[in-house]
Chain A
Amino acid sequence: MSPVIWAYVGINLILTLSLYLNFYCGQFSLGVAAFMGLGAYLSSVLTVTYGLNLNLALLISSAVTCVVGVLLAFPALRLKGFYLAIATIGLVEIFRVMFKNIPFIGGTAGFSGMVGTSLPLIYAWVILTLALVWKIEHSRLGWAMRAIHQDETVAEMTGLNTTYLKVVSFGIGAAVAAIGGGLYAHYMFYIDPDAFGFHRSLIILLFLVFGGQTMWGILVGVPILTILPECVPQLGGMRMVFYGAILVLIMNLRPQGMVPEDLVRRVHGRYSHMRGTRSQ
């Protein structure tokens, strides 16, 4: 199998983890495409126009996107559930219109010339992102985020600063999406604003939902969904139809996803029972 597929797997992993971080905290934000685009354009300009080293460009664009994410998080705080989802779709579309109207980055004609990624580099970032998400899950920050997800009012009344925590999740999610966007841009050599529309967010949502909204689910689901359409040659042009069909099927047959939380908990519980320690 060609390395191109594995590059996509890596990039999709990072993007899905970005979405995951938001959903972990109960924030159904679909803004990942907007932050991906921002990271893509920022890092591309840094490397192509200013000749910066790729990793440095990725870090800088990620930091800037994080700040943007934090700023946008404040108005977003007031929105819940569906309203947040559609507002963030709006955000994505607004960003897309903005990208189209900045001649410096090529407007509708797009921006090109980015080079410098390789499979090991992409996966180095994937591993970093996985480590970050793992650490969040295994820290009180992660507990706090889960608490907010399950009952935000009670979380607030238990002493958790829900505003701060939601802003943090938004910001980290944006930073991670920017890394994914930067790697995407440099792997594709060319980007244009239409690559970062709401369709992108919806596909990443599919990845997350298919996996079951757990880290293991993402590690299993993203490769399957990225690689499967390529395995069957006829499926090539039908990739979107395939994704649509998967979504319909999954929602009918297994809406909780491939590796949902209770499955992880059961397996984990069984495993640590075998090890003789009490699971946390």
Chain B
Amino acid sequence: MGGIPICAEPARSENDMLIAEGVSKNFGGIKALNGVWLRVLRGSVTGVIGPNGAGKTTFFNIVSGFYAPSEGRVLLDGRDITGLRAHQIARMGVSRTFQVIRLFPFMTVLENVLVGQNRNVPHGLASLFHSLGSGKEAKRKDSAMELLDFVGLADHCDALAGELSYGSQRRLELARAVAADPALLLLDEVTSGMTYQESMDIVERVRILRNKGCTVLVIEHDMNFIRKICDHVAVLNFGCKIMEGTPLQVQRDPEVVEAYLGKDDQ
């Protein structure tokens, strides 16, 4: 078995964008996550894989702040974000997409991206004193359009988000997540339901984002995607991290294979 040993306490380094320390999550009697330790290097693309129900989305939910862990800590760029509210974590530079597409269906494609711009952009009472026609807003609109171009949706900027095709909606979700100029991007099965061509296109987008300095965490079932873009992969099963390593190491690991396919004699 190759890769980093599972339960050794990881040394903290300045290169870690995200550190999860013994994160557990209970729902009533169900332990969805059980003592997960993970280090995510700055500027890397890390995959989180595992069978359905392994706790991957639960992990994302905790990192992005949808709920707090029952045990353990989460550190973002050295700062303890455990238990902070989701919008605070988002403003600190964490953006995510969702396993089931969630957009603002009755807002236009452009508006969805504009709302995603939350870093240092006022959305409260203060915004009543700013004009939507001002220079700053025009610049923000330009960057939003650039993002739409980046994901190939510039032509649809005035369409209602709810009316887009499935693949386009996924790309819009990506654009909205990137609009916040995140330091850490969480992609939850972003290629789910996409064709091979569309998935590879997403791989390119992620590559470009990584080259710009963004740290990316992806939950994926598509091993092609993982192989093409991930530097490092962690495998979860039944709420525990059972292995981590490079995509190749992980793919060959017998325990990982067993987790996905079950034991031979069953």
Contacts and interface: CB of A to CB of B under 8 A. Distances in A.
Contacts of A143: 107, 111, 114-115, 123
A154 interface: yes
B238 interface: no
Contacts of B96: 157
Contact of B130 (A139, A144, A156, A161): A139
B66 A157 contact: yes
Contact of A158 (B90, B106, B128): B90
A168 B124 contact: yes
Nearest to B118: A159
Nearest to A141: B127
A135 B128 contact: yes
A147 B107 contact: yes
Nearest to B96: A157
B102 interface: yes
Contact of A140 (B65, B98, B123, B180): B123
Contacts of B85: 156, 161
B122 A158 contact: no
A78 interface: no
B127 A147 contact: no
Contacts of A147: 104, 107, 115
Q: Which of A143, A165, A278 has the most CB of B within 10 A?
A: A143
A154 B124 contact: no
B4 interface: no
A132 to B, nearest CB: 9
Interface residues of B, number: 38
Nearest to A161: B87
A279 interface: yes
Contact of B86 (A157, A261, A269): A157
A163 to B, nearest CB: 8
Q: Which of B114, B122, B125, B130 has the most CB of A within 10 A?
A: B125
Contacts of A155: 104, 115
A278 B157 CA distance: 10
B115 A144 contact: yes
Contacts of B104: 146-147, 150-151, 154-155
Contacts of A140: 121-123, 127, 130, 132
A161 B107 contact: no
B184 to A, nearest CB: 13
A278 B65 contact: no
A2 B102 CA distance: 51
B64 A157 contact: yes
Given A146-B107, A150-B104, A151-B104, A158 B115 contact: yes
A266 to B, nearest CB: 11
Interface of B is mostly: loop
B118 A160 contact: yes
B115 A138 contact: no
Contacts of A135: 128
A279 B91 contact: no
B255 to A, nearest CB: 33
Contacts of A269: 158
B154 to A, nearest CB: 12
A136 B130 CA distance: 11
B111 A158 contact: no
A273 to B, nearest CB: 10
A280 interface: yes
Contact of B87 (A146, A162, A168, A279): A162
Contacts of B111: 143, 280
Nearest to A132: B128
B87 A160 contact: yes
A118 interface: no
A143 B106 CA distance: 11
Q: Which of A146, A161, A165, A261 has the most CB of B within 10 A?
A: A161
B103 interface: yes
Contact of B125 (A150, A157, A168, A261): A168
Contacts of A159: 87, 90-91, 116, 118-119, 180
A57 B211 CA distance: 61
Contacts of A156: 85-87, 90
18 contacts: A135-B128, A139-B128, A140-B121, A140-B123, A141-B127, A143-B111, A144-B123, A146-B104, A150-B105, A153-B66, A156-B85, A158-B90, A158-B95, A158-B116, A158-B118, A159-B116, A161-B124, A165-B124
5 closest A-B pairs (Cβ-Cβ)? A159-B118, A159-B90, A140-B127, A144-B123, A150-B104
Given A140-B123, A280-B111, 10 more contacts: A139-B127, A143-B111, A143-B115, A151-B103, A153-B66, A157-B86, A159-B87, A159-B116, A159-B118, A161-B85
